[in-house]
A = this chain, B = another copy of it.
Amino acid sequence: MDDKLIIGGMELENRLFIGTGKFPNKKIIPEVVKKSGSKVITMALRRVDLNSKQENILDYIPKDCILLPNTSGARNAEEAVRIAKLARAMGCGNWIKIEVISDNKYLLPDNYETIKATEMLAKEGFIVLPYMNPDLMVAKSLVNAGAAAVMPLGAPIGTNRGLQTKELIRILIEEIDIPIIVDAGIGKPSHAAQAMEMGAAAVLVNTAIATAKDPVKMAHAFNLSVKAGRLAYISKIAPEKKYAEASSPLTGFLNE
């Protein structure tokens, strides 16, 4: 099948991105990554400590994955830029997920600081994936600022509430030419499938996998549901109808 997702010049064979936070036990991360099929893994830079003798989150990420360090902890564009540069200097590569958050209750992003950070980092050669509150005008600004994709939230981080912002995301998918990756709020495989059926390019899932009772199986479930949603999008979903239509012939069977 010739349905490639290309971001930052890389061809990605899997449309599920996963995060590494909240796992009860880091040792299961390699198996989670494997079953998820994911090739793009996000982690907070803070967890990456190359000098430490303690275990490092990077130890658990397969070498063939793209690292997507995030700027979690940044409260403005400058801090995000500093974290991004630090990440690159530490060998995490040049992909960066921008998170600029100053609201500690809902962890909602600051779209304008995010635009600023995107612009600065894109100029410095980063592949920039900004986390955003879904907003068409902001998405257009992010495209102009050089974002490689935009990552609108479905619901606040960690809430598992699904696509609460579905209508705004639908508009982004319709109007924006770079990939739309739904991030945050996805709590079940059906949510991920729904995003993909709408035409999202990919989804990022962390909490729903990490806090499931069986994270490995749940990673597998998301892997399948993302593929299912993408296949359905490509296969063109038949429209909803108001009245019933028989799948089987209905009348006269016994009277003939």
Contacts and interface: CB of A to CB of B under 8 A. Distances in A.
Interface string A196-231: 010000000011101111110110111111011111
A73 B224 contact: no
A173 to B, nearest CB: 12
B248 A72 contact: yes
Contacts of A133: 133, 135-137, 168
B207 A247 contact: yes
A130 B99 CA distance: 26
A56 interface: no
Interface in A225-240: 225, 227-232, 234-240
A34 interface: no
Given A157-B245, A167-B155, A197-B190, A238 B250 contact: no
A230 B43 CA distance: 28
A97 to B, nearest CB: 10
Interface string A92-109: 000000010111111111
A241 B167 CA distance: 12
A247 B17 CA distance: 14
B160 A193 contact: no
Contact of A137 (B70, B111, B165, B166): B111
Nearest to A78: B254
Interface string A117-151: 00000000000000001011110010000000000
Contacts of A72: 246-250, 253
A232 to B, nearest CB: 4
B190 A217 contact: no
Interface of A: 19, 21-22, 43-47, 70, 72-74, 79, 82-83, 99, 101-112, 133, 135-138, 141, 155-161, 164-168, 171, 175, 187-191, 193-194, 197, 206-208, 210-215, 217-218, 220-225, 227-232, 234-254
18 contacts: A19-B248, A21-B246, A21-B248, A72-B250, A73-B253, A108-B135, A109-B137, A112-B141, A133-B133, A157-B244, A160-B238, A188-B197, A190-B229, A190-B232, A214-B234, A222-B228, A225-B229, A225-B232
